[in-house]
Amino acid sequence: MRDWAYNLKKGFRSLRRMTTFQWILFVAMTLLAAFMLLPIVYLVNHALKPFNELFLYPPTFIAKQPTLQNFTDLIVVTQSSAVPVTRYLFNSIVMSVLVFFTSCLISVLCAYPLSKHKFPGRGIIFSGIIISLMFAPEMVGIPRYFVISNLGIINTYWGHVLPLVAMPVGVFLMKQFIDQIPDELLEAAKVEGAKELRIFAKIVVPLCMPAVATTAILSFQTAWSSDETSTLFMEDETMKTLPFFVNTLTNNLSNNVANQGAAAAVALLLFLPNFIIFLAMQKKVITTMMHSGIK
């Protein structure tokens, strides 16, 4: 509580010392931030609108009579199907958590030797990782399917996870961040008798946590929002995820207005986890972008 009060007083003192230009810039950035929040406000209010407000023209931005009926309708819609929405949600949570941790671990394990170890072909490997950023997911869809099929993990959670754990952008961000760590620090740890694994776990990983957090956000957003694995690798309906269900629901409602409220509710459910995780890690993301530029 004392720290919060101290920071608040410090903020007020800073505002008093601001010049006219700084005030204009502050007001402009505040208005821009408020403008960028409008889609989020609309998405939340749209999910809370009763049926009679969903199709008003001109559309209303704020729900006049907010209700949770749309979420109830979502449950009712899935009661007629063989798989309830809770199963899709559970699959999405399990898949996203596994991708969240696995992709971060693989990215940092790949970035550390590329940054701090000299071995033949290091430049070629890193160049290949950078080049892979140019490939669209559709270009590797067929090779991915053959790999997953030959591994025998179709209709398993690993069939969801394995195609998404390799993140070239995560490796790139982490390598650029680890490049900032002085070689002298690692050499000093070796002189003190620290082994390679201890240096990696106790020095490298803690120092590059902002990059780890950024990779975690990107991997979670990719896993949570993707329906690719459900479409290509899952034949069992009980193994498919929430984004796949949303697309199915939306396609079925293309000429139907009865359950548009349910579609609005599930769109909000897809958005909230990404929003919460980004808010929790936004400071580390900014730190990563400040230190991961191309040298």
Question: 255 pLDDT band (50/70/90 cuts)?
Answer: very low
Average pLDDT over every residue of 102-110: 90
117 vs 18, more confident: 117
Q: Return the pLDDT at 289.
A: 57
Alpha-carbon distance of 74 to 68, in angstroms, equals 10
Average pLDDT over every residue of 191-214: 85
For 35, 37, 63, 268, 294, the CA distances from 41, given in Å and listed in that order, are 10, 6, 10, 11, 36
The per-residue DSSP string of 169-188 comes to HHHHHHHHHHTTS-HHHHHH
For domain 84-291, the CATH superfamily is MetI-like (1.10.3720.10)
* Residue labelled with tokens 């270009």: 139
Question: 293 pLDDT band (50/70/90 cuts)?
Answer: very low
- Position 20: which residue type? T
Pair 172, 133: CB distance under 8 Å: yes
Q: Return the pLDDT at 254.
A: 45
* CB neighbour list of residue 195: distance below 8 Å, 6 or more residues apart: none
Percent of the chain with pLDDT over 90: 2
pLDDT at 196 > cutoff 80: yes
Pair 170, 102: CB distance under 8 Å: no
Question: 294 pLDDT band (50/70/90 cuts)?
Answer: very low
Alpha-carbon distance of 157 to 91, in angstroms, equals 8
Token digits for 93?
A: 């949570």
Token digits for 130?
A: 């950078």
Q: Return the pLDDT at 213.
A: 83
pLDDT at 212 > cutoff 60: yes
At 169-179, the pLDDT tens digits run 888 888 888 88
Question: 115 pLDDT band (50/70/90 cuts)?
Answer: confident
Q: Return the pLDDT at 126.
A: 87
pTM of the predicted protein model: 0.75
Alpha-carbon distance of 148 to 163, in angstroms, equals 8
Pair 130, 171: CB distance under 8 Å: no
In terms of residues, how long is the chain?
295
pLDDT at 285 > cutoff 80: no
Token digits for 25?
A: 């810039």
- Position 235: which residue type? E
Q: 22-31, 187-196, 221-230, 279-288 — which is least confidently predicted?
A: 279-288
At 43-99, the pLDDT tens digits run 888 888 887 777 777 777 788 888 888 888 777 776 666 777 788 889 999 998 999
Question: 251 pLDDT band (50/70/90 cuts)?
Answer: low
Domain ranges in the chain are 2-76, 84-291
Q: Return the pLDDT at 7.
A: 59
Beta-strand (E) ranges in the chain? none
